[in-house]
Structure 1
Amino acid sequence: MDSFVAPSEHDPGILSVCVGRTVQSSIDMDDPTHLVDDYTKHLSSLVDEAAPPRQPLRVLHLGAGGLALARYVAATRPGSYQQAVDIDPDLVAKVRAQAPLPKGVKVKIRIGDARDQLRAAPGDCYDIIIVDVFSGAHVPAHLTTVEFLREVARVLRPSGHFAANICDGKNPVFSRGVAAAVAEVFDDRAVLLEPGILNGRRFGNVLLFGSNTKLPIPGIRRRAAGANFPYRVLHGKEYLNYHLGTPATTDATATPSPPPPDGLFGNG
């Protein structure tokens, strides 16, 4: 599938990373702390609340894309160690050429399947693991399962946190199955999504957080409520109610995420 990096029609300082007709992510080349996509802003709340300000972290990005969050981590937590994994060498080469990282920012990029690379990683290694992998407009099935999440937990430090960006819409069986899988692996968990997605009125991003220590829920909830496009934060009983009655997704039952409505993630 063809990939390319293109400037925004409305702001030439914003670059969009596209695969086929799907816009994967957007980057502000002038300000790495400005996250263009709403879901990345909500993912950044976990980065911001996971440790005191400016404290370096070890972060693994499964799904490199335009490295928007990696740029953000480097700018807000200088000295952080970061690795990114992407299966598309052509896309990585285009991002490096057309949207190079700022001087002094170092992110090691490995080419390969996210799950294979995770399996090869040492245990107790990262403070945060962010999973943001799409094949075109779909989340790959093998990155949504109990077995995959057990590998995530193995590679996280005991105090570490996990976040995943997936998509779902009406009758959200897919995201509920993944939420049940997260609940089977992690002691504390949360789901973040727009009210319209929660109510089954629209299709969009669903964020899942997990940890075997306490998630920083008060800070995440405060930021989610104050965003330009507020997300609901489901935690505790609300999280349980979200996936109640839906079996946890496993390697034996996993399917890719459902297709978005025509044109929703297109580049126009």
Structure 2
Amino acid sequence: MSKQRRNQNRSAVNIEPGIYEIDSGTAEIKPDPFTPGAWVLLINGVESSQLIPDEPQRLGFEYMRWMAIALGFRYPQDARLRFLHLGGGGATMARWGADRYPNSRHTTVEYDAKLTELARDNFGLPRAPIVKMRVGEAGQVLAETRPDSWDVIIRDVFIGTTRGDHITPMHLTGLDAAETAARAVGANGAYVLNYGGPPNLAPARAEAAALAQAFEHVTLISDATMFKGRRRGNIVMVGTQTPLANPDLGGTDAFIAALRAEPLPTQAKYGTATTNFIAGTPPSLAPLLLQEPL
């Protein structure tokens, strides 16, 4: 797709720095002090999204780059993909996906209506039907998905007001959620999770165990320090029914090489390495549906 046509598919970036009231507290838009020309969205003081205007494929957050690498080695650029983004925030991954896969369609789900409006008004998101923004509870939306209704589901959902208690709601982390997502993405799809947590990796092992029961292949992506439980950070987890990396796009070796070339050298665990990481931990059995919304 030409640059001119891509620009026609985007809304104007209209960033207004400042602090905004949202349903869950406050959001702040401010210049990124480490990346010239970039902006950061903070939710209740916690970094949520980074935006680099006119460069949607340039991702500042490490875990988002890992997601992009994983999907880039699975699907060719001309693939007609249907993305469901659980967790809207600044819709950074929806902007990336719409640009990386010009034939794709995206639906973002964000519980905070005012945050959704803020992102839509400021961040130059592609117009519907390329990117649709839906206000809703992620677990409810996931529970309502039909089999084979999406190609990619990205879960990036956190609650809490500080970095220390910024966690994924339990009902999105268990076997029920993993099996529902597996049905929704079908045989060729991918369920991509952003796990974020403390050095204690027990919750991460339980999440990986849930994926391993729902998917034939589970790939874990992070750096060695995080895998050793020495810091708080992120692990990207990808559930697929076929090996993650497409041989026609370079295959596993090229995928691993791309991760190692990251500014923070990154590893991928799959097969036996994923089984060893799980280390016999049982999956969480938290039900997907809550009796009451969050």
In the alignment, structure 1 residue 36 sits paired with structure 2 residue 60: yes
Counterpart Cα distance in 2 of 1:193 and 1:110 = 30
Q: Which residue of structure 1 aligns with residue 225 of structure 2? A: 196
2:167 and 2:197 in contact (8 A); partners too: no
Deviation at 1:214, TM superposition (A): 2.1
Counterpart Cα distance in 1 of 2:35 and 2:236 = 27
Deviation at 1:111, TM superposition (A): 0.8
1:224 and 1:232 in contact (8 A); partners too: yes
Deviation at 1:30, TM superposition (A): 2.6
Q: Which residue of structure 2 aligns with residue 116 of structure 1? A: 140
Counterpart Cα distance in 2 of 1:174 and 1:17 = 27
Q: Which residue of structure 2 aligns with residue 220 of structure 1? A: 255
Rg comparison, structure with higher value: 2
Deviation at 1:10, TM superposition (A): 4.2
Q: Which residue of structure 1 aligns with residue 212 of structure 2? A: 183
In the alignment, structure 1 residue 163 sits paired with structure 2 residue 217: no
Q: Percent of aligned positions with the same letter in both sequences?
A: 28
1:70-119 Cα offsets, whole Å, 9 max, x none, are: 11111111121111111111111111112121578821111111110112
The residue type equivalent to 1:39 in the other structure is Y
Counterpart Cα distance in 2 of 1:232 and 1:247 = 24
Deviation at 1:38, TM superposition (A): 0.9
Q: Which residue of structure 1 aligns with residue 95 of structure 2? A: 71
Which stretch has the larger CA shift, 119-128 or 201-210? 119-128
Match of 1:245 among 269, 276, 280: 280
Counterpart Cα distance in 1 of 2:116 and 2:51 = 14
1:47 and 1:73 in contact (8 A); partners too: no
What's the secondary structure of 2:269's corresponding residue? Answer: strand
Matches within 5 A, 1:1-268: 1-11=25-35, 13-102=37-126, 106-136=130-160, 137-216=166-245, 217-251=252-286
The residue type equivalent to 1:148 in the other structure is A
Which stretch has the larger CA shift, 166-175 or 48-57? 48-57
1:16 and 1:23 in contact (8 A); partners too: yes
Question: Aligned pair in 2 of structure 1 residues 63, 103: CA closer, same or farther (>3 Å)?
Answer: closer
What's the secondary structure of 2:109's corresponding residue? Answer: strand
Counterpart Cα distance in 2 of 1:104 and 1:121 = 20
Counterpart Cα distance in 1 of 2:124 and 2:48 = 17
Superposition RMSD on alpha carbons, in Å? Answer: 1.8
1:58 and 1:126 in contact (8 A); partners too: yes
Deviation at 1:190, TM superposition (A): 1.1
Counterpart Cα distance in 2 of 1:102 and 1:146 = 34
TM, length-normalised to structure 1: 0.88
The residue type equivalent to 1:183 in the other structure is A
Counterpart Cα distance in 2 of 1:2 and 1:152 = 31
Deviation at 1:121, TM superposition (A): 2.3
Counterpart Cα distance in 2 of 1:219 and 1:3 = 39
Structure 2: stretches of 5+ with no match in the other structure? 1-24, 161-165, 246-251, 288-294
Question: Aligned pair in 2 of structure 1 residues 91, 177: CA closer, same or farther (>3 Å)?
Answer: same
1:138-175 Cα offsets, whole Å, 9 max, x none, are: 11111110001111011113211111001123231010
What's the secondary structure of 2:275's corresponding residue? Answer: helix
Counterpart Cα distance in 2 of 1:208 and 1:231 = 13
Counterpart Cα distance in 2 of 1:199 and 1:149 = 25
What's the secondary structure of 1:126's corresponding residue? Answer: coil
What's the secondary structure of 1:2's corresponding residue? Answer: strand
Counterpart Cα distance in 2 of 1:74 and 1:68 = 10
The residue type equivalent to 1:75 in the other structure is D
Size of the alignment, in residue pairs?
Answer: 252
TM, length-normalised to structure 2: 0.81
